[in-house]
Amino acid sequence: MAPRVLVDIRDGVADVRLHRPDKINALDPEMFVEIAEAGERLKREASLRAVVLSGEGRGFCAGIDFTAFREAVGTPLKDGPLAEVLKTDGRITHRGQQAAWVWTELEVPVVAAIHGPCFGAGLQIALGADIRLVDPAASLAVMEVRWGIVPDMAASLTLPHLVGLDVAKELYWTGRTVSGHDAARLGLATRCEEDPRAAALNLAAELARQSPDVLRAGKRLLTGTGERSVARQLELERQEVTALLGGANQVEAVEAFFAKREPVYRDPGSPS
């Protein structure tokens, strides 16, 4: 069976591509597992500084593979084709949820490049990214209402944070499709780009030139801000900046700035 996810790492950037172009990258049980496993492998890449997540072919992801879903209707979950996807294996997520949530768990920035259809489960995967660049002509939808279910890949955590609770409810309950332009207006996407994949790769390359310590600290600080008290958030700011000050990469940033040269940063865990 051909791989359903392709990963290429170069110069600190992981280029992750959903790879079922003949199905507009629709998700079957094997693909859910492969996406989650790809993210887990990237957690172990010490030299990683940014990730680009995109889909090959005509779109980012058309959602769940309808054939697999249809076969599951009326079948006990423990016996159906989605049984593997619904395993938690001791995690807080099942494998379907992990295909979306794993991108929030990565310590480095994740940039999703969205073109064409981005529906249902595919949209939930994109919501796990830190930044979403979208083709103005793309189509995005929380589509699960059409199948008589609710989104169950962490959208209840990620979507309201981006668009607000009222808009999230409307998208849940109507399943309406929005353009890339409207997605950016709503906050569902970060901004529009005529070529979102090229823009995402350029942005990732720019991020990879920054201090990896700052990238990680910034993600830790900004993820989950709405769940912390003001006092706790300010305490975390103090902790993060204290840990950075005087470190090898912070010293290199200052020295490079005054020497008018590009800084050369060390990856976490590399020898001094």
Residue 77, pLDDT above cutoff 60? no
Q: Quick one: DSSP state of residue 109?
A: -
Count of domains for the chain:
2
Residues 42 and 114 in one domain: yes
Structural contact between residues 46 and 29, judged by C-beta atoms closer than 8 angstroms? no
* Cut 0.75: pTM above it: yes
Residue-wise pLDDT for 93-143, tens only, equals: 988 899 999 999 999 999 999 999 999 999 999 999 999 999 999 999 999
Residue-wise pLDDT for 151-168, tens only, equals: 999 999 999 999 999 999
Residue-wise pLDDT for 112-126, tens only, equals: 999 999 999 999 999
- CB count within 10 Å of CB 129 equals 24
Q: Which domain holds residue 108?
A: 5-207
Residue 199 lies in a domain: yes
Distant-in-sequence, close-in-space partners of 188: CB < 8 Å, separation ≥ 6: 132, 140, 159, 162, 163, 178, 182
Q: What are phi and psi of 102, to 5 degrees?
A: -60, -30
Residues 222 and 193 in one domain: no
CA distance 160 to 78: 31
Residues 202 and 228 in one domain: no
Q: Which tokens in the block code for residue 220? A: 């830790």
Domain harbouring 33, CATH code: 3.90.226.10
